[in-house]
A and B are shown apart, each in its own frame.
Chain A
Amino acid sequence: MKVLVAVKRVIDYNVKVRVKADNSDVDLANVKMALNPFCEIAVEEAVRLKEAGTADEVVVVSIGSKSCEEQIRTALALGADRGIRIETEDAPDSLSVAKLLEKVVEKEAPGLVILGKQAIDSDNNQTGQMLAALLDRPQGTFASEVNVSGDSVQVTREVDGGLQTVELAMPAIVTTDLRLNEPRYAALPNIMKAKRKPLEVLSPDDLGVSVSSNLTLLRVEPPAERQAGIKVGSVDELLEKLRNEAKVI
């Protein structure tokens, strides 16, 4: 079985983004970029499936300009076998990404597609679900456990009320949550080896998809700042403030 993993280049999770002065967007100039943490978990899961003998090949795909080859190489260093980059300019919207991935899935015919549940930049949480719908295949979103057996997969999902387990006919789409696994660090020899792994570049035209969007970003602004608060010296003072000043207890 082949596993396809979709990965995204995003701002490093430790960086607090700033809004541009003209409110047109956030400012990503000279900001540290990284593999989206949920995508890293997706790569790790695929590599573990390969190590367990369940999968025989792990293919990573990313969509964007040349710079996202850095994140594909990171995934290859973690143990993926080969990479695909689909050349696009600006960050395409989720529907376009899902359409591009749909074509890659048709071409590669994986048994499982694993994606992160959300990218920490746009915070949309939708691409995996959209891909599954376009392919008319089942989905196991927000996964904390994935067990493949034969031609079906059981996925335990982190839901608001606790955990839910579903069984899906393969091919299936899985999106990762934080507790699925703890990604490994890439060892230096693997980083070197990753440089020589195959990385194919495709255009949306090659896949027969036209990338456009009906969404317009009109404005980006910083969130309302909270007023600086005070330090209280004791539990008694805290209770006095909560009772008489804030009146919340």
Chain B
Amino acid sequence: MTTLVIAEHDNKELKPVTLNTLAAAQAIGGDVHLLVAGSGCGAVADTAAQIPAVSKVLTADSPAYEHQLAENVSKLVLSIAADYSHILASATTTGKNFLPRVAALLDVNQISDIISVEADDTFKRPIYAGNAIATVQSADAVKVITVRGTAFDAVENSGGSAEISTVGESCDAGISSFVGEELAESDRPELTAASVVVSGGRGMGNGENFDLLYKVADKLGAAVGASRAAVDAGFVPNDMQVGQTGKMVAPDLYIAVGISGAIQHLAGMKDSKIIVAINKDEEAPIFQVADYGLVADLFEAVPELEGKL
């Protein structure tokens, strides 16, 4: 039994979420191989080879994989799939994009967004915005799975020395191309990996007022997130959305400011260790999941909090 994990990276650095996905692979058991598909991604493969959980690193280096285009990456994975019992990727927008294609090409289902491994064919996954947890068993010949990173503790990233080998012809399907990207630049920690997250909702009123949260975040070394309402209103960009259909976070401390606590928002943050809610409406549903609730006007409470940190 050997599991293939597809690494998440930007051609320069391995993304930490890969270490969480590797933990799920370890829980399944057997050997674990890590595929690094990209362009000029040799440094990523070198980093990956030091992960003790990985017995072999496979690299596919070609311009066709530079932007992880699903049409190309899925063909590459398919070309090496025969060697594996399980194929895993992180449930990020990259993994969610190409892995279902791999599943369909292998004529199997995908088990999406697992939060635990019960047996090598049985997994738990949240459904209905996390209001129910399903245990599913797969009789498919190969299990194709995306993994929710926050549900697994990262494996060690150093001390190993896996062999690195090159795989595959370059697979360019020739039907899609990369045009451009607008990536958020931030010195703050990445939202899904941060140990403290401060999120703002519609109650923030506008984008400038998010500065109040950035100041708190900088004192706490926190990432800043948002509700869908704050994103839809244009206060902040889409990559900050936490929730059922945005990012899943589970930090040690989550501070929800001016967020009512709709089920779709709770789905993305209710696994946080400690939840703080600051809301002026004492009936807001966010207080039902908050460990510490402060009924207050955020425009008074947040600056006071920042001042006292």
- Please list the residues of chain A having a beta carbon within 8 angstroms of any beta carbon in chain B: 11, 13, 16-19, 26, 38, 93-95, 98, 117-118, 120-127, 129-134, 136-139, 141-142, 144, 154, 157-169, 177-179, 213-223, 226-232, 234-236, 238-239, 241-242, 246, 248-249
Inter-chain CA distance A230–B295, complex, in Å, is 11
Within 8 A of A (CB), among B277-300: 282, 287-296
Inter-chain CA distance A229–B67, complex, in Å, is 44
Interface contact A130-B100, CB-CB below 8 Å: yes
Within 8 A of A (CB), among B64-115: 67, 69-71, 74, 92-94, 96-105, 107-113
Central interface residue in A124, A227, A236, by most chain B CB within 10 Å: A124
Number of A-B contacts (CB under 8 A): 261
Inter-chain CA distance A232–B290, complex, in Å, is 11
Interface contact B104-A239, CB-CB below 8 Å: no
Interface contact B294-A229, CB-CB below 8 Å: no
Interface contact B110-A126, CB-CB below 8 Å: yes
Interface contact B304-A235, CB-CB below 8 Å: yes
Residues on the A chain within 8 Å of B244, using CB: 120, 123
B273 close to chain A: CB less than 8 A:
yes
Inter-chain CA distance A230–B277, complex, in Å, is 11
Inter-chain CA distance A214–B140, complex, in Å, is 6
Within 8 A of A (CB), among B223-243: 228, 231-232, 237-239
Interface contact B67-A133, CB-CB below 8 Å: no
| B286 CB to nearest chain A CB (Å) | 11
B43 close to chain A: CB less than 8 A:
no
Which 4 pairs show the lowest CB-CB distances between chains A and B?
A126-B100, A129-B100, A130-B104, A133-B101
Interface contact A229-B293, CB-CB below 8 Å: yes
User: A94-B110, A214-B138 in contact; A235/B305 too (CB < 8 A)?
Assistant: yes
| B196 CB to nearest chain A CB (Å) | 7
Residues on the B chain within 8 Å of A164, using CB: 67, 178, 180-181
| A106 CB to nearest chain B CB (Å) | 15
The B interface is mostly helix, strand or loop, or mixed, namely mixed
Interface contact A167-B179, CB-CB below 8 Å: yes
Residues on the A chain within 8 Å of B189, using CB: none
Residues on the A chain within 8 Å of B181, using CB: 159, 161-165
Which candidate, B18-26, B29-37, B121-129, is the interface stretch facing chain A?
A: B121-129
How many residues of chain B have a CB within 8 Å of chain A?
Answer: 89
Residues on the A chain within 8 Å of B274, using CB: 242, 246, 248
Residues on the A chain within 8 Å of B173, using CB: 136, 138
Residues on the B chain within 8 Å of A179, using CB: 231-232, 238
Inter-chain CA distance A117–B108, complex, in Å, is 19
Interface contact A166-B134, CB-CB below 8 Å: no
User: A26-B128, A95-B103, A239-B305 in contact; A159/B293 too (CB < 8 A)?
Assistant: no
Residues on the B chain within 8 Å of A122, using CB: 127
Residues on the A chain within 8 Å of B112, using CB: 123-126
Inter-chain CA distance A123–B132, complex, in Å, is 11
Inter-chain CA distance A121–B132, complex, in Å, is 10
Interface contact A228-B288, CB-CB below 8 Å: yes
| A7 CB to nearest chain B CB (Å) | 17
Interface contact B128-A166, CB-CB below 8 Å: no
| A78 CB to nearest chain B CB (Å) | 20
Residues on the A chain within 8 Å of B289, using CB: 226, 229
Inter-chain CA distance A38–B97, complex, in Å, is 16
Which candidate, B51-59, B164-172, B245-253, is the interface stretch facing chain A?
A: B245-253
| B194 CB to nearest chain A CB (Å) | 12
User: A161-B239, A222-B132 in contact; A138/B175 too (CB < 8 A)?
Assistant: yes
Residues on the B chain within 8 Å of A249, using CB: 196, 220, 253, 309
Inter-chain CA distance A242–B282, complex, in Å, is 20
User: A120-B129, A161-B184 in contact; A166/B294 too (CB < 8 A)?
Assistant: no
| A231 CB to nearest chain B CB (Å) | 5
Interface contact A95-B104, CB-CB below 8 Å: yes
Inter-chain CA distance A160–B122, complex, in Å, is 28
B263 close to chain A: CB less than 8 A:
yes
Inter-chain CA distance A118–B237, complex, in Å, is 20
10 A-B interface contacts by CB (under 8 A): A26-B127, A137-B175, A139-B71, A162-B181, A164-B67, A169-B175, A179-B231, A222-B133, A241-B292, A248-B252
B161 close to chain A: CB less than 8 A:
no
Q: Which B residue sits closest to A123, measured CB to CB?
A: B127
User: A130-B104, A133-B74, A220-B133 in contact; A159/B273 too (CB < 8 A)?
Assistant: no
Inter-chain CA distance A241–B275, complex, in Å, is 12
Interface contact B133-A123, CB-CB below 8 Å: no
| A16 CB to nearest chain B CB (Å) | 6
Interface contact B253-A216, CB-CB below 8 Å: no
Inter-chain CA distance A158–B136, complex, in Å, is 29
